[in-house]
């Protein structure tokens, strides 16, 4: 075995190790030489940048003090869902956008929906397809909505709009900077009820520390900023149902309660 063949084998072994460890994305499109010392920006330059772009903290964190007000200002300018989707795509205040996601996935459904569904985050399958709620669990959710008779009366979005690396749950900070866009969607759609899918979505929207088992099937009230108070139901995630089919009965009872409320 010559040196070149040995090097290739070593690289293949390293890539296989990373794959088994769950690494599925690179943070940068081009290689970066970390041995080169970069000039640090002056305080004046940092202040100037902060006036235009939300400043992020350490890698993987989001500055909510800057990002939330900016998101709220940008979202307020959207006059319809199409403009709101474009505003989300242009927004750089959530660190998730820079962590390898292929694109922005805001939502899909009826612009005059009676029911707003909020999930946790785009999956790797959604990210690969380039469409929100296109994964296997989402297609199962579509069937549930169709049987319940509300498929054409529903709009679906998520607490964040970019696929988190490694399919990890979004952080509270990442959810917080995305919330103003959800609130603006509610103002535009004016749904009659909200259905939260899973514990991550429930915690991000309701800021509740209660377990999913305690939240599931209960009607609560939620008052998004700038909106009227809405009835909110929390149910199990469709991905959980695919693993635990016995929970389908509980979700169906939740859907019957939702359709009665509508």
pLDDT in tens, 71-108: 999 999 999 999 999 999 999 999 999 998 999 999 99
Spatial separation of the C-alpha atoms in residues 180 and 159, rounded to whole Å: 10
Closest by Cα among 215, 222, 225 to 254: 215
Domain parsing of the chain, residue ranges: 41-261
Spatial separation of the C-alpha atoms in residues 251 and 134, rounded to whole Å: 20
CATH class of the domain whose range is 41-261: alpha beta
Average pLDDT over residues 26-46: 46
| 80: its two tokens | 């319809």
Average pLDDT over residues 162-178: 94
| 206: its two tokens | 């309701």
3-state secondary structure of 103: coil
Spatial separation of the C-alpha atoms in residues 251 and 244, rounded to whole Å: 12
Residues 6+ apart with CB under 8 A from 201: 118, 119, 120, 158, 159, 234
pLDDT of residue 86: 95
Contact 186, 177 (CB under 8 A): no
Average pLDDT over residues 109-136: 94
Residues 6+ apart with CB under 8 A from 153: 110, 113, 114, 115, 262
Q: At what angle do helices 136-148 and 248-261 cross, to 10 degrees?
A: 50
Q: Please give the model's pTM, rounded to 2 decimal places.
A: 0.76
Closest by Cα among 235, 240, 230 to 256: 235
37 — pLDDT class (breaks 50, 70, 90): very low
pLDDT of residue 217: 93
178 — pLDDT class (breaks 50, 70, 90): very high
Q: What is the pLDDT of residues 220-245, one digit of tens each?
A: 999 999 999 999 999 999 999 899 99
153 — pLDDT class (breaks 50, 70, 90): very high
For the chain, give the mean pLDDT: 84
| 173: its two tokens | 């900070």
50 — pLDDT class (breaks 50, 70, 90): very low
């Amino acid at each position: 075995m010559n040196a070149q063949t040995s090097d290739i084998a070593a690289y293949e072994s390293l890539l296989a190790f990373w794959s088994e460890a769950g690494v599925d994305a690179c943070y940068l499109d081009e290689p970066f030489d970390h041995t080169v010392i970069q000039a640090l920006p002056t305080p004046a330059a940092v202040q100037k940048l902060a006036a235009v772009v939300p400043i992020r903290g350490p890698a993987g964190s989001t500055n909510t003090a800057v990002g939330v007000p900016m998101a709220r200002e940008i979202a307020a300018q959207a006059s319809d869902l199409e403009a709101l989707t474009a505003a989300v795509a242009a927004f750089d205040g959530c660190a998730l956008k820079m962590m390898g996601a292929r694109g922005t996935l805001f939502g899909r459904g009826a612009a005059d929906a009676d029911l707003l569904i909020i999930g946790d985050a785009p999956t790797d399958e959604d990210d690969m397809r380039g469409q929100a709620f296109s994964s296997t669990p989402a297609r199962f959710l579509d069937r549930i909505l169709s049987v319940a008779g509300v498929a054409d009366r529903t709009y679906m979005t998520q607490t964040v709009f970019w696929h988190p690396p490694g399919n990890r749950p979004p952080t509270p900070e990442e959810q917080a900077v995305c919330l103003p866009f959800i609130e603006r969607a509610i103002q535009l759609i004016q749904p009659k009820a909200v259905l939260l899918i899973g514990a991550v979505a429930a915690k991000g929207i309701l800021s509740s520390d209660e377990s999913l088992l305690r939240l599931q099937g209960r009607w609560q009230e939620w008052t998004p900023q700038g909106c009227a108070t809405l009835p909110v139901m929390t149910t199990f995630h469709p991905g959980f149902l695919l693993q635990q089919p016995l929970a389908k009965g509980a979700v169906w009872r939740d859907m019957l309660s939702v359709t009665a409320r509508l």
